[in-house]
Amino acid sequence: MPFLAAAVVIVGLLCLLDLLLTVGVIRRLREHTEQLGQLSAAGGDSGSLPIGAHVPQFEAGSIDGEPIGLDAADGTVVGFFSTTCEPCKQLLPEFIDYAANLPGGRSRVLAVVVGEDGDGAATAASLSSVAQVVVEHHSGTVATAFRTSTFPTLYVVAPDRQVMVSGHTMDVLRSPATAGAIG
């Protein structure tokens, strides 16, 4: 009988310990959820530049052989697409349609296709009529300047190279705030 009482006490202590650990995990999850919410509200994440950040100077070559940087055009739209990203493939037709109807034409749109050598040719070709297109590796000049590692990522950048809009869906480009930023 003493053995049974000891077993019940041990099981009870183990259940209490499990309960304390569960409460601790729930508290940490709430903290992380709050931090992610604050990060999201700030307009950015670890895979892109947040709203208000300044894009550093960069130079790259387009698929047409033209040098690319951020022009002084107000509200330059920048889209990053990966060749291995299914959401990118789904977003691409909407982005092309949006860019085709953008005032100022392709000079106000920069599309960056990120992939391995030769992977981005078809994607780049589909974008070339509506955007200046750069094809590069994940650690390429433009992706590094924008600190972009998640795809797709969309930006609107002001003439002073400040990020005015940042996000991962076409909703960010269609919002009233974006319409004012593009002018």
Q: Are 105 and 129 in contact (CB under 8 A)?
A: no
Same domain membership, residue 13 and residue 74:
no
- Please count the structural domains in the chain: 2
Instruction: Flag whether 148 is in a domain.
Output: yes
**Is there a single domain that holds both residue 94 and residue 166?**
yes
CA 167 to chain CA centroid, Å, is: 6
DSSP SS3 for 141: helix
92 part of a folded domain: yes
At 178 the pLDDT is: 63
Question: According to the model, what pLDDT value does residue 151 have?
Answer: 93
Residues 32 and 77 in one domain: no
Asked whether residue 155 is domain-assigned, the answer is yes
Taking the C-alpha atoms of residue 161 and residue 76, their distance in angstroms, rounded to an integer, is: 9
Could you tell me the residue range of the domain that residue 24 belongs to? 1-41
8 A C-beta contact, residue 154 and residue 49: no
Q: Would the pLDDT of 15 be above 70?
A: yes
67 and 33 in a common domain = no
CA 103, 107, 109, 113 torsion-angle sign? positive
Q: Do 106 and 30 share a domain, yes or no? A: no
Q: Are residues 10 and 73 in the same domain?
A: no
Q: What is the mean pLDDT of residues 154-160?
A: 92
Reduced to 3 states (helix: H, G, I; strand: E, B; else coil), residue 65 is coil
Q: Supply the pLDDT for residue 43.
A: 47
pLDDT at residue 131 greater than cutoff 90 = yes
d(CA 60, CA 58): 7
Mean pLDDT score, 19-38: 78
**pLDDT tens digit sequence for 47-99:** 788 999 999 999 999 999 999 887 656 789 999 999 999 999 999 999 999 99
| Per-residue confidence (pLDDT) for residue 1, from 0 to 100 | 74
> Is 173 found in the same domain as 87?
yes
pLDDT-based confidence at residue 44 (cuts at 50, 70, 90): very low
The answer to whether residues 89 and 141 belong to one domain is: yes
Local confidence band at 179 (pLDDT 50, 70, 90 cut-offs) = low
- Residue 31's pLDDT is 77
Residue 117 has pLDDT above 80, yes or no: no
Which region among 17-21, 30-34, 131-135 has the lowest average model confidence (pLDDT)? 30-34
Q: Are residues 92 and 165 in the same domain?
A: yes
